[in-house]
Structure 1
Amino acid sequence: MAPDRSRAVVMGVQLPGVEDSEHAASLDELTRLGKTLGLRVVERISQRRSALAPGAVLGEGKLEELAARVGELSAGTILVDHEITPSQARNLEKATAAEVLDRTAVILAIFQRHARSREARLQVEIARLSYLAPRLRESSVGRDRQGGGIGAKGAGESAIELDRRKLRDRISELREELSAIERDAKTRRRRRAESSTVALVGYTNAGKSSLMRALTGSGVLVADQLFATLDTTVRALQPPTHPRILISDTVGFIKKLPHDLIASFRSTLEEVRDASLLVQVVDASDPAHPAQMEVTREVIREIGAEAQPWLVVLNKIDRVEEARRAELAALHPEALLLSAKRPEDVARLRDHLVAFFEREMVEEEVTVPYSRQRVVGDIHSSCRVLAESYDERGTRLRIRAHPAVLARLRAAL
């Protein structure tokens, strides 16, 4: 039977210091990544080693076992739970006659498939080309040198040099286009600077989009897939508050998230850094959730948002047994245990968010001269108006608002 590219074998090396449960969870996650790509994982092969074999990741005997199983199962794809070198990938392909994708390539392929907005597509393409650039060496060796000409180096450059130059030029073009989009995004964030903003962060498939839909009543995409959401969505909390609270649903994180992807999505992740409150959504039903929580913390630190106020939400609690719920409550006394599927739990989270921002608000009385009545409209949109009256000096309002908003209003008066 000819190899079927939709049938995949997952393989990984358990390195020193990696517990059995951690290694198994990593292979489980790669299996789910493969499923998200439309692959059916038919086998898992693992080996304990002190390091990845420089030739083909696995030792000689294990490599023979892998090749035999790939042939027996007619698998056309191998998913490697590590980032490997081009030569390692080439050697694995030679030994097995199957296409080899390392973990980074799998994640990039998923991001490429799920990117919807122009910004997300540009971000993914920059990361993909950055990943491909050093890998051109293995695929283009032996091609003739190109003749010199306009834009060429000296008497000519090799095909690989030309390909690399084209990649660098293309990445520069994409970055210029992305910069224009990022400037618009920064302008939008500046307009929201005085708003109460909540960023939902967490591991991929933790239930952020489900919680976003429940809190805002919006039609954001909810799918049981890894990285279903790549574009940041911002919606107002419902039922509405005065002033309103904005909720943003951000791209999910994952272990060994490629650095180029974090760099490309840095502007998107600035939504997190600018938020007033970070809500870390955790899939409490996943046994690997402690490690997933730490991955989220690491990415947050990398983008410089670790100092933001933080709330942990242990989601999918309806899938957790009662005894385990009590253990989680004891381990995370400040966390909220809930299910995005239960309206009463969502209402409890909403009350918690409203109370958080209420603590920061200050009550004050202002008088707006009749010559500056446009400020009254601004007050109604950015503050909670408790009372409003009129006298010879102008419109008198008793308001409740954030200190920064009050400072701006005083300056306008």
Structure 2
Amino acid sequence: MSSRVLLVGIVRTPRQRWTKAEELEELAELTKTAGGEVVERIIQTRSQPDPATMIGKGKAIEIRELCRRYEIQLVVFEDLLSPTQLRNLEDIIGVRVIDRAAVILDIFALHARTAEAKAQVELAQLEYFKTRLTGLGIEMSRLGGGIGTRGPGETKLEVDRRRIDQRITTLRRELERIEQERQVQRKRRSRLFQIALAGYTNVGKSTLFNRLTAGATVVSDRLFATVDASTRVFKIDKKITALLTDTVGFIRNLPLQLVASFRSTLAEIRDADLILHIADISDPKVEGQIEVVNDTLATIGAGDNPQILVFNKCDKVFDDSLFTRLVARYPSAVFISARTGAGLDILQVRIKEFMEKQMVVKSFTIPAERTELAALVYAGGRIIGERILNGKRQIRIRGFAAELMRIRKEVRKRLL
């Protein structure tokens, strides 16, 4: 049975109410994804947040009466609440109170599938709740059931204050071990061009990922359906191959605990040679979402990575003026529909053109009879010239500098 939920937002001036209403709409979608049913919304105009309750005691009492009238079990604040505010609000209102960050953490917990993702989510949750234990009600007895309190998978979140720090230490060690394994994997894969999909949550990254790689990643019209990073081979053409990674979606005010805990997953974006920044053209807030994604990329150290902006879901838009405006503002963007496949040929041409600009031409000279070394060189890119002269095979090849450097080192090693 889903929890009946009341949402609360705060603005400083009446002119901000429209923007806050949009933010509450996104919070409502998050709450729905987490399993809640939003039955009421409140926006309070207040020049300064109340340090004790955020909204003031009078408004808190008003919310208490609404909760009783509509049988509401959970109040979710759009703004981040301090431990003191949580405790005071629960004491006055008489039901559980959480904030937006707790809802996002809860959704990540619901969708985590791999051991790494579950460890990352649990660490983020514990880091978040560690400073808020006093604000979660009577002796933490309510923690372990309901939105904002679930651990990853089927586990229950640790609630014993004495054991939380110990569990955090264990999770950090486990993630450090996983990160070391990831670094080994990335080193092995570094000879291939790395492309990462990034974007706001629910913009269709997984659908595009499956289209480009002919795979079967879970596709869902839900926020944060993808929590784990997936990587597959992406063949641009017969001669050019890359690795494509589908990553977790971003969102406005992504909890800092998640950014820190998911550093190894986000490294797939930071280490990418090219980022495909996917945006949902059918969302009225698309331009604001693009800014959120770019800000998040900068936060994780990927702000300077080359990127191609890709507007997805063009099959849902019939307003020519919108296309005209976006083309004028983002002249290098590509417009596609991952669902229908429209525009994917143009996207692949753009990717290929970018990759080819990163290629260099190198020459290799090896003994003519060492065909196994010739095969090693052939695998490094596109052969643009070859001849045998005086017992030596001379090969000119076009490929990525890092890969050709690796091949040169391997050839020298085998010739010793």
| TM-score, normalised via structure 2 length | 0.87
Distance 1:15 1:200, change over 3 A: farther
- CA drift at 1:386: 4.8
- CA drift at 1:123: 0.6
Equivalent residue number for residue 406 of structure 2: 408
Q: For 2:397 and 2:69, how far apart are their aligned partners in 1?
A: 74
Q: For 1:203 and 1:16, how far apart are their aligned partners in 2?
A: 28
Find out whether 1:358 has 2:351 as its counterpart: no
Match for residue 329 of structure 1 among 327, 330, 347: 327
Find out whether 1:222 has 2:214 as its counterpart: no
Find out whether 1:211 has 2:208 as its counterpart: yes
Equivalent residue number for residue 53 of structure 1: 50
- CA drift at 1:16: 5.3
Kept in 1: contact 2:236–2:352 (CA 8 A): no
Equivalent residue number for residue 342 of structure 2: 344
Distance 1:253 1:237, change over 3 A: same
Equivalent residue number for residue 181 of structure 1: 178
Secondary structure of 1:110 counterpart: helix
Secondary structure of 1:19 counterpart: helix
Match for residue 378 of structure 1 among 370, 376, 379: 376
Secondary structure of 2:50 counterpart: coil
Find out whether 1:83 has 2:80 as its counterpart: yes
Distance 1:371 1:49, change over 3 A: farther
Match for residue 98 of structure 2 among 88, 96, 101: 101
Equivalent residue number for residue 241 of structure 2: 244
Distance 1:324 1:142, change over 3 A: closer
Equivalent residue number for residue 148 of structure 1: none
Give the counterpart letter for 1:368 in structure 2. I
- CA drift at 1:396: 4.5
Q: For 2:224 and 2:335, how far apart are their aligned partners in 1?
A: 23
Kept in 1: contact 2:14–2:45 (CA 8 A): no
Distance 1:52 1:378, change over 3 A: farther
Q: For 1:253 and 1:199, how far apart are their aligned partners in 2?
A: 13
Taking the TM superposition and a 5 Å limit, the aligned residue runs for 1:284-323 are 284-320=281-317, 321-323=319-321
Count of matched residue pairs: 392
Q: For 1:175 and 1:32, how far apart are their aligned partners in 2?
A: 31
Gaps (5+ residues) in structure 2? 141-158
What RMSD, in angstroms, separates the aligned Cα atoms of the two structures?
Answer: 2.5
Kept in 1: contact 2:90–2:137 (CA 8 A): no
Kept in 1: contact 2:235–2:241 (CA 8 A): no
Find out whether 1:114 has 2:111 as its counterpart: yes
Equivalent residue number for residue 9 of structure 1: 6
- CA drift at 1:242: 2.4
Distance 1:322 1:165, change over 3 A: same
Distance 1:388 1:134, change over 3 A: same
Secondary structure of 1:382 counterpart: coil
Gaps (5+ residues) in structure 1? 144-161
Q: For 1:17 and 1:139, how far apart are their aligned partners in 2?
A: 31
Kept in 2: contact 1:369–1:395 (CA 8 A): yes
Equivalent residue number for residue 196 of structure 1: 193
Give the counterpart letter for 1:81 in structure 2. E
Find out whether 1:264 has 2:261 as its counterpart: yes
Match for residue 233 of structure 1 among 230, 235, 251: 230
Distance 1:197 1:110, change over 3 A: same
Match for residue 131 of structure 1 among 128, 131, 149: 128
Give the counterpart letter for 2:315 in structure 1. D
Give the counterpart letter for 1:402 in structure 2. F
Give the counterpart letter for 1:335 in structure 2. A
- CA drift at 1:379: 2.8
Distance 1:227 1:392, change over 3 A: same
| TM-score, normalised via structure 1 length | 0.87
Q: For 1:276 and 1:47, how far apart are their aligned partners in 2?
A: 45
Give the counterpart letter for 1:333 in structure 2. P
Q: Which moved more, 1:326-335 or 1:56-65?
A: 56-65
Kept in 1: contact 2:236–2:242 (CA 8 A): no
Q: Which moved more, 1:63-72 or 1:318-327?
A: 63-72
- CA drift at 1:129: 0.8
Distance 1:238 1:277, change over 3 A: same
Distance 1:35 1:5, change over 3 A: closer
Distance 1:395 1:317, change over 3 A: same
Distance 1:376 1:190, change over 3 A: same
